[in-house]
Amino acid sequence: MATDTDGRTGIEGLSALVTGGGSGIGLGAAKRLVADGAHVTICGRSEDRLKGAVDQLSALGAATYVVADVTVEEQVAHAVGTASERTGRLDILFANAGGSFHMGPLVDADLEAVRATVDVNLIGTFLCIKHAAPVMAAGVAGGEGGSIIGMSSGAGHFPHRYLWAYGAAKAGVDMLCQSAAEELGKSGIRVNSVQPGIVDDELMAPITAGGPLLDDYLAEMPVSRLGRVEDIAAAVRFLAGPESSWITGDNLAIDGGHHLRRGANYGLLFGE
């Protein structure tokens, strides 16, 4: 990590892997990392989407992509290997890939939808950390540490009605990152997670377009506005770089203070 004579630091020349990097927050974070000089590899399941994203990223700096499903261990290992090829190291991992396949009452839940939600969020993040950490640790011997950022959610920190499967999986991500921080600190690796609130991106567009659920979100936020992809990307960039070199095991809320009040009521989507 570069340090100038005034003590300012940067991520120029570092290698980063961003999962789920083809759109939304993942792409926004990748743009920020590339713009600040990192060599960024994005991964996801849709090659067409990844190609389009890399076209955008390449206008800012060094970027490539690899097709990978974070729930498949061999593909995760391949993605980590690809991300470390250019410099021989992996310095930054943003384990961003996730999603929700179930919404609704617990007693009516479909097992496979719940299992898929846990797999893509919790198991996917676990596999990314499992394979990234040894590569990062090897880089420490050359004087560099590593930073891992997991993608959690406000739904994993406080209940959002009917979003419990996603929330439980994200709560698992937070605990996973804390546990990994405790284990990996001796190897020079920091691990944190981010807990975004509602962000105006493609994933949340049906809600951010307006309606009772959006009104409910905004009423419970001290800073009452939609989040921007750039808000999350800035936090990821901070946690990725040496500016946060003494921060590990933190679950950072980026939600306009939503966590100070109550979670969103997704029952409004069911006419409740």
AA letter at 28: G
Q: Does residue 5 surpass a pLDDT of 50?
A: no
Q: Summarize pLDDT for 116-174 with one digit per residue, the tens.
A: 999 999 999 999 999 999 999 987 654 558 999 999 999 999 999 999 999 999 999 99
Residue 219: how many other CB atoms lie within 10 Å? 11
Q: Would you state the pLDDT for residue 9?
A: 59
Residue range 220-233: mean pLDDT, rounded: 98
Minimal CA–CA distance to 204: which of 100, 123, 56, 52? 100
Residue range 88-104: mean pLDDT, rounded: 97
Q: Which CATH architecture has domain 15-270?
A: 3-Layer(aba) Sandwich (3.40)
Q: Would you state the pLDDT for residue 8?
A: 41
Residue 165: how many other CB atoms lie within 10 Å? 24
Q: Does residue 6 surpass a pLDDT of 90?
A: no
Q: Would you state the pLDDT for residue 175?
A: 98
Would residue 162 show up in a list of annotated catalytic residues for this protein? no
Among candidate residues 65, 162, 166, 266, the one labeled active-site is 166
Residue 181: how many other CB atoms lie within 10 Å? 19
Q: Does residue 3 surpass a pLDDT of 60?
A: no
**What is the spatial distance between Cα 33 and Cα 40, in angstroms, rounded to a whole number?**
7
Q: Would you state the pLDDT for residue 139?
A: 79
More confident residue, 180 or 139: 180
Query: Is the pTM here over 0.85, yes or no?
Result: yes
Q: Does residue 40 surpass a pLDDT of 70?
A: yes
**If you search the block for the tokens 């809600």, which residue do you land on?**
207
Q: Would you state the pLDDT for residue 145?
A: 80
The band of 226, judged by pLDDT with boundaries at 50, 70 and 90, is very high
**What is the spatial distance between Cα 121 and Cα 48, in angstroms, rounded to a whole number?**
22
Q: What is the mean pLDDT of the chain?
A: 95
Residue 29 · residue 196 · CB < 8 Å? no
CA dihedral 165, 112, 69, 166 (to 10 degrees): -10
Q: Which structure tokens are listed for 46?
A: 């849709």
